[in-house]
Amino acid sequence: MSNSKVSNSGVAALLEKVMQELTADTLDDTLEKLRFFFPETLLLGALDLIDRDSVIVYNTPWGRSQYEVLGSTATYAVFPGLPSGGGHTLAYCTCPAYAYSVLLSETQLMCKHVLATLLARRLERCVERPIDADELASVIARQCSL
């Protein structure tokens, strides 16, 4: 197993460029490029989540979007962004893979939930859920472990 760290800013900047090119029309091309950045299993896992309509976005009345991804055993709060953070929100996911592979060992740029959310946003495949104040309170409580 390699110890090379992938979260350096050069790689992140390249990834950001690839992501910006992504539309439904360029999906095949972009997937080829994404294979340089992610293991096949991660990529397929992310596409599978999108296929299952597992990327949920809650739009708040004041224009903020909260994302959740329905995993096979749990629902994870995802804060989509890119590892470089340059002008973007830093990505974060509440799943164990993110904590281990991304934050601790730095062997992956992101988990499949963050990748699925980034891809779904570009492809307009997020499942939009309207949300009222009560529901929003429970989403925030869940996401912040309150």
Q: Which residue has the tokens 């409580």?
A: 141
- Identify whether the C-beta of residue 65 lies closer than 8 Å to the C-beta of residue 120: no
Residue among 72, 76, 75 nearest 92 (CA): 76
Residue 49 touches Zn ion, criterion: CB under 5 A: no
Q: Which stretch, 10-18, 84-92, 107-115, 138-146, contacts Zn ion (CB under 5 A)?
A: 107-115
Query: What letter does residue 30 receive in the DSSP assignment?
Result: H
Nearer to Zn ion, 40 or 132 (CB): 40
Q: Which two tokens stand for residue 89?
A: 């929100």
Q: Which stretch, 13-21, 24-32, 33-41, 103-111, contacts Zn ion (CB under 5 A)?
A: 103-111
Residue 110 touches Zn ion, criterion: CB under 5 A: no
Residue 93 touches Zn ion, criterion: CB under 5 A: yes
Q: What does the binding site for Zn ion look like in residue numbers (CB under 5 A)? A: 93, 95, 98, 111, 113
